[in-house]
Amino acid sequence: MTHILAIDQGTTSSRAIIFDSNMTPIASAQEEFTQHFPNSGWVEHDPEDLVSTVRSTCKAVMEETKLGANDIAAIGITNQRETTVIWNRETGEPLHNAIVWQDRRTAGICEELRAAGHADEVTRITGLLLDPYFSATKVKWILDQHPGSRDLARTGKLLFGTVDSFLIWHMTDGRAHVTDATNAARTMLYDIHKGAWSPEMCAMLDIPMEMLPEVRDCASDFGVTDRLGGETPILGVAGDQQAATIGQACFAPGMLKSTYGTGCFALLNTGDAPVTSRNRLLTTVAYQLDGKPTYALEGSIFIAGAVVQWLRDGLGIIQQAGETQALAQNGRGAVTLVPAFTGLGAPYWNPECRGAVYGLTRDTNAADMARAALESIGFQTRDLWEAMRADWPDAGDAVLRVDGGLSANDWAMQFLSDMLGAPVDRPAGLETTALGAAWLAGMRAGVYPDMDGFAATWARDARFEPTMATQERETGYARWKRAIAATQSV
């Protein structure tokens, strides 16, 4: 039993990856599922799609490797965070479609809470900002839409969970209603200082505490599943960005990683003490082991890789994401794209503004748009970088470790390094999110090394050093800041 199965349940697809005893991926399967957009700014998933795609991808990798349950020491799960599911304990049926982290329908609820003077209390307890991004207002919205649901929840018949909880509940046939500290910390219902669900937050939103899962360490016993043909323990769970932080071995205070998937999420390890941001970043749990939380400052960008998908699916400029690299090299840098398709995340937190393009002329072409799209990712990361350095002056000469699909784009990573004026390191293996979940489970199972041993295995594929002149860097960033100001003023 020397293999680990990692489940990576993401925003647009589910993946299963089997890692061998050397933490090397040997088989992978991926399956996309339908995105539902019932109204402008609303994003939903059918919860059954989440379960079925996880089931089918796990089956596919087991068949490909010809491994059986006796070959799998443990399962690790990483998942899209904040996405909210409420389901019936007795039947397993969801009360409503899953409301996805990108969804903005609860902006009105957030405004009501802000007007009532709760914003500071939310941040003090949870480390988060009052925003539709997080699970709590999504839970309230679902309960508000279904009369009598709160009474069912108070009797234990309705359960709430982030995607990890929902998957584990199904994988264990309802025997385990659990989550880990990193996912709990993203709900806006969890007291990150006390390490427990917050009665104050639940009362504020009229959410029955009886529906909440038990919170455990990232490496813990989350139940046993028979879905692989025999009994297999689930021993590791972490939200996707925290799993990537672990997979990047960012275990020392001051280490920083940024993941470029649908969105962009940068986490700065701040050690065993939570740091309250003065620049509208989030204070969150990076990971929790042996009952001890390690904290992070996090900056969340809602649209990163999704801007490349927009070039492909919305504008038809490209056929494949990789085409942007060659196009951007020929772009002239005269166009500025603010991809606020679902509002702006950190450090602006403006859920109402929408995307904009500046600098268009009659001769603007596909190369200009491709370059503007990739530049927007570097500019947004610079916003986070500036905020983090202000909140954590000890960062010094930091190096940014990057991962996610877009990190394979050399042009984008070089522009990122140029815009930060700092080195950008890309690891040899880009499966850092799944690797983080696999290491948690494998370490718990005794298959993989401890934290120090794991950190020693991290290897670099490429380092991007800044080559852009300071004046050019600052002129470009000033152009971005003007575009941001103009977008928010509309």
DSSP string of 195-241?
Answer: TEE-HHHHHHHT--GGGPPEEE-SBS---EE-TTSS-EEEEEEEEHH
Establish how many alpha carbons lie within 13 A of residue 45's alpha carbon, considering only the half-sphere containing its beta carbon.
Answer: 28
Instruction: Please report which residue ranges of 33-134 form alpha helices under DSSP H.
Output: 47-65, 107-115, 119-126
Query: Mind listing the pLDDT tens digit of every residue in the chain (490 residues)?
Result: 789 999 999 988 999 999 999 999 999 999 989 989 999 889 999 999 999 999 999 999 999 999 999 999 999 999 999 999 999 999 999 999 999 988 889 989 999 999 999 999 999 999 999 989 899 999 999 999 999 999 999 999 999 999 999 999 999 999 999 999 999 999 999 999 999 999 999 999 999 999 999 999 999 999 999 999 899 999 999 999 999 999 999 999 989 999 988 888 899 999 998 999 888 899 999 999 999 999 999 998 888 888 888 888 888 888 888 888 888 888 888 899 999 988 888 888 887 788 999 999 999 998 898 999 999 999 999 999 998 888 887 666 688 999 988 888 999 999 999 999 999 999 998 789 999 999 999 999 999 999 999 999 999 999 999 999 999 999 999 999 999 999 988 7
From the list 183, 196, 217, the residue with the least C-alpha distance to 289 is 217
Contacts of 287 (CB under 8 A, 6+ apart): 181, 182, 218, 238, 242, 245, 246, 293, 294
Q: Which two tokens stand for residue 195?
A: 């390490």
Whole-number Å distance between alpha carbons of 170 and 318: 39
Whole-number Å distance between alpha carbons of 98 and 475: 43
Q: What is the DSSP letter of 345?
A: -
Q: What is the DSSP letter of 400?
A: E
Q: How many C-beta atoms lie closer than 10 Å to residue 235's C-beta?
A: 27
Most distant pair of Cα atoms in the chain: their distance: 64
From the list 348, 343, 182, the residue with the least C-alpha distance to 281 is 348
Q: How many C-beta atoms lie closer than 10 Å to residue 340's C-beta?
A: 22
Q: How many C-beta atoms lie closer than 10 Å to residue 252's C-beta?
A: 10
User: Any idea how long the chain is?
Assistant: 490
Helix (H, G, I), strand (E, B) or coil at 266: strand
Residue 362's Cα: distance from chain center in Å?
38
From the list 103, 76, 302, 295, the residue with the least C-alpha distance to 185 is 295
What pLDDT is stored for residue 477 in this prediction?
95
What pLDDT is stored for residue 422 in this prediction?
92
Instruction: Please report which residue ranges of 284-365 form alpha helices under DSSP H.
Output: 305-309, 323-329
What pLDDT is stored for residue 199 in this prediction?
97
Whole-number Å distance between alpha carbons of 265 and 102: 13
Whole-number Å distance between alpha carbons of 168 and 45: 17
